[in-house]
Structure 1
Amino acid sequence: MRNWIKSFGIMLILITFVAGCSSYSTSQGSGQTNSEGYEEATIRLAYNLPQDHHVAKGVEQFAKDVTEKSGGAINVQVYPAGQLLSDKDMNQSILTGGVEMGVNSSTLWASTVPVMGIFDVPYVFNTYEEAGDALNGEFGDKLKASMEEKGAKVLMFADYGFAQFANNKRPLESPADFEGLKIRSIGDIPSEMIKAYGASPVFMGGGEVYMALQRSTVDGATSGTTAMVQRKYDEVTKYLTINNYAYLEFILAVNKDFWNKLPEKSQLLLSETATEAEAWIRTQAEIEDEKTAKQLEEKGMEVYVVPEEDIPMWKEAAKPAWDAFSNNAGNIGKELLKMVD
């Protein structure tokens, strides 16, 4: 009887051990493929933009298409609007594998990969077409390589659109008109430009800007017109200056180690689908910029569009921002500037 109990106990331990191993194996990926030949994988994708933003819509469609094209084998689980990670925590989580994929601004990536600050350098790109051609060529390849050196693979450059200025004091028709103003900035490089124009840059989160403008904590702010509409700038500012000084980018990046472990067939699907979404987002960026600028004017803002012939004056006055980027991004930063100047 004792021998039987002892044998039963040993058998129970073995069963528990095997079950535990089986559970662990399943959680790491079964390695099984479906009828379309795709290996099963779960990918968590996080972003912080509002779900109705054109970048968010493009990213959501990317996730949906990957899941559908793979016959459900590659399950892209999307966590929108900061549900999983804040924008400040996003990059580190991608680099450490805390999340497989994430979307974040190039401005925030610049603190880890300095050359990503190129998008904040004033007047690097004049048109949407120029930006697209550069990102699809050697310029984009150099940026991708710099990201991979840090441990993140770029799947998509998601065009947010051009950055503008809104303020309460006066029309900003030349750099001299910035003198003495307090302007909410979106990064280190734009801050150098704001200072060069004679104003004082103020850092704060996007969600704080409305109240800061309402209480005159700042006199103005820089952002894309899509964000200005969403955050109701028209209620707390009077003047809008369209000078297209920076072409804002968001990056869909994937943890490099995770990427390298994916089968080639899965990598190809993700890359091709990201390229499709990238093209749609780039087209939408121009449409949304034009639409939201018009909406702000219809809501009562006084809009000044800087004439094309005046842009060289604005660019020359912003030279300290170019110098700051060059000093921070080193030789590769200088190479990138030469490619687009």
Structure 2
Amino acid sequence: MKSYFQDTKNKGGVVEDVIYPTRTKGVAYVIFKEKKVAENVIRKKEHCLTRKVGLMHLTVSHFNEKVFSSVRAILDLSIFGSQVILESLVMDLKKKIPTLCFSPLEYNGRISVQGSFLAIKRLKEFLLLKASSLLEKNKSFISDGEKRSRQSPRRSLRRSSNSVEPLRPSVPETARSGETLVLDTDIFLYLKKKSRVYESTLKKFHVLCQERVDGEITTICIKNAQDGSRPNNEKLVKEYIEKYSHALHSELRKETFVLEGKKNRAKNIKSACEQISSRYLQVLINFYKTHIDIIGSSSDTYLFKKEVMELMRQKVR
């Protein structure tokens, strides 16, 4: 592949490195010495790599440094019961967040949604607000019904069959007292472990955070630490952390080492990461049973991974 992209017939030039395999199946990263060469390669409409089995067609595009680009979720809208026409709700969601892709609504109320993490986050906030407003309406209806029942018990009995079906989901208590913030877990871990902004902001505004990590999503509940604290401190902290996390979302890149195969290989990868980590203080390393994630700037993660692979090759010799 390297020789192909260095060939001038293919609009190529000097290639500094080819990263393959990557965490995305079937994707390779080709790093050119000159930006102009990369642009020429992209302008060429067709790229075919000759293999023993025949020609392999390549799709070439710019590398997007915004790694946390797509999230897929399955929504169960049936929890809204009979209070909402689900088709209308889906139409509203499409209008409110046009960047999301929706699958057809299933008969059981389920629907698949795909889009950026930030778009999914907006979707969650919209649905929480919707659920909250329906709960308030339901409470109001029940309280009015209780008043009428005290005034006219018979009328209340006649109307009981038409009462509104109670909404099953409950909005978390933190949504009503304090502020709730939802972040990508990788962003949150980097924010907490590699940035002083998180802890310093909490101390500055005298707030406490309850953090709940649930896979790729982390929910942060922000509350005042002192009774005398200003009530808008919670909102200010939420806005500040949200703004900072958005900036990280655009700047950070994630690489993954998959711990498959021989035990020695996995052990060597872990050892190499630990050995190199002291030279990359702004790179976050998350160790898991099946893989290792490294998160940092585009240049740092690239150099970090390159050094790990070089150490691995040295140990194999």
| TM score, norm. by length of structure 1 | 0.20
| TM score, norm. by length of structure 2 | 0.21
* Higher RCO (CA-CA < 8 Å; seq separation 6+): 1
The structure having more radius of gyration, on CA atoms, is 2
